[in-house]
Amino acid sequence: MTQRSETNTSTKGGVSVGNPAPDFSATDAAGEPIRLSERLKNNAVVLFFYPKDDSVVCTAEACAFRDSYEAFTKAGAEVIGISRGDDGTHQRFAAKNRLPFLLLSDADGAIRKLYGVRSVLGVIPGRVTFVIDGEGVVRGKFEALLESQKHVIEALQTLRRIADEAAS
């Protein structure tokens, strides 16, 4: 699958750039409930859906977000990863890779479905990143199953564009 940036139109069954980000609640690796709308009160949010803890590409993606974490916080954004993994697998994955951001459990796939993140070949959960501004509007959407590091690059470019727009 290739990286794609959506336009301001809705796609069938999915969230697109310009749409309000659907609110949701999920548990983090410590089992604590996290609500997206609460996180958006303080920051923009970079929400990345990934297939599975500890897989090669998912580990590379998570570590790329980790390595750029300071750039995200300087840009006023919180990074949140979501997969079907449970709290225990998220705890081990985060500790093993020193991940400084939240990992949320979407065990039943409800959040993935809410955002329209499709599976590849009906089997592999998709890899999609959404950049959501402080007003709760999706400002960027990037989809690339195997090009995990491009999610970080594209998300940072979107945050810079949002900052430039705010400054002008």
Q: What are the beta bridge partners of residue 25? A: 35
Say if residues 31 and 134 touch (Cβ distance below 8 Å). no
Would you call 63 a catalytic residue per the annotation? no
Query: CA angle, corner 136, sides to 97 and 12, nearest 5?
Result: 90
Contacting residues for 100 by C-beta, under 8 A, at least 6 apart: 66, 69
The H or E element spanning position 46 is: strand 44-49
Of 40, 45, 58, 111, the catalytic one is 58
- Which residues carry out catalysis? 58
